[in-house]
Amino acid sequence: MRLYLIRHAVTAETGLTLSGRQSGIPLSPAGVAMAGQVAGELGDLPVRALYTSPILRCRQTARPIGVAWDLDPTVDRGLIEADYGAWSGRSLKSLYRLKAWQRLMESASRFRFPQGETLEEVQRRAVATVEALADRHGSDVVAAVSHADVIRVILAHYLGMPLDLVHRLSVGPTSVSVVELYRSGAVAVPIVNRPYSAGGEG
CA distance 124 to 90: 25
pLDDT in tens, 9-22: 999 999 999 999 99
Which pLDDT score is estimated for 190?
Answer: 59
Give the pLDDT means over successive 10-residue stretches in the chain (202 positions).
Answer: 96 96 96 96 95 98 97 98 98 97 96 98 98 94 97 94 94 93 71 50 59
Contact 198, 15 (CB under 8 A): yes
* Eight-state DSSP code of residue 198: T
CA distance 153 to 163: 7
Domains of the chain: 2-192 (3.40.50.1240)
Residue type present at position 194: R
The model's pTM is 0.93
Which pLDDT score is estimated for 188?
Answer: 66
The CA distances from residue 165 to 5, 59, 85, 157, 160, in Å, are 19, 29, 22, 11, 11
